Amino acid sequence: MLPDREPATAEAWLRQNAQIQIIARDRGGAYGLAAARALPDAVQVADRWHLMENASRAFLDAVRKSMRQIRKTLGATRVNPKLLTAAKRLQYEGYLRREQTNAVIIALTKEGATIKEIVRRTGHSRGLVRQVLRGQRNDVFRSRESSLEPYLEWLDAQWAAGKRNGTELWRRLRTQGFRGSRRLVSEWATRRKRADTGRRRPPPSWPTRVFHEGWRGAGH
């Protein structure tokens, strides 16, 4: 384990371990530069956990933006309120209200009103009006973005620095304005621990040694 997560510390450690041929890291540019300076001939590869995290986030975002088309293709655009759970019924009622708002904004647009004029006449924000005109507010059941989303980069940095207690991370997040529950942060920490546990280190028969910036040490 390295004493800190400064790129200079990682660079110094790498210079002392010239046998390393593969360096697995996240997308932090400072670590990439440090690795290139210390071991210019080593191959740098993307960290598997961050690859999976980024890919899953991109996939969910793409699905979220296409849900209306997906439901239409599946023939699931008609909703029977009697068959909905209480939570889904609340979402459906919200959808109906959104549809009324959308109809008003679209009607004003067809009349030739500008976004500025629509904002003035309806009292809605400019961002909301743009969402309506882009078709981003008309799915029946919208997937909610996690309240942790704006803090994931910070959480990654804390995790890499060895701060891995869910409750403590939650307390620190609250000082930065996070208003979510402790359980949400603890569940994130649990998933991250499982991901770390699932990382397989290279077996002894491998001809190379691997340095993983996220592990703060050498592989085997």
The three-state secondary structure class of 44 is strand
Handedness of CA 55, 56, 57, 62 (dihedral sign): positive
Distance CA 38, CA 58 (A): 33
Instruction: pLDDT tens for the chain, 220 residues: list them.
Output: 788 878 899 899 999 999 999 988 877 778 889 999 999 999 998 888 878 888 888 887 777 667 666 666 665 556 677 777 776 777 777 778 888 888 899 999 999 999 999 999 989 888 889 888 887 665 555 555 567 777 887 888 888 888 889 899 999 888 888 888 888 888 888 888 877 775 544 444 444 444 444 444 444 3
Q: What is the pLDDT of residue 112?
A: 92
Which pLDDT belongs to residue 40?
93
Position 191 scores a pLDDT of 80
Q: Which residues pair with 24 in a beta bridge?
A: 45, 212
Q: By the 8 A CB rule, do 56 and 49 touch?
A: no
Domain residue ranges of the chain, discontinuous segments joined by +: 78-133
23 forms beta bridges with: 44, 211
CB-neighbour burial class of residue 27 (10 A; exposed 0-12, middle 13-18, buried 19+): exposed
What are the C-alpha distances in Å from 9 to residues 41, 54, 113, 183?
19, 27, 59, 34
Burial class of residue 105, CB neighbours in 10 A (0-12, 13-18, 19+): buried
**Residue 209, SS3 per DSSP:** coil
Tokens of 201: 């280190």
Q: What is the pLDDT of residue 162?
A: 86
pLDDT one-digit tens code per residue, 103-127: 899 999 999 999 999 999 989 888 8
Q: How many CB atoms lie within 10 A of CB 54?
A: 13
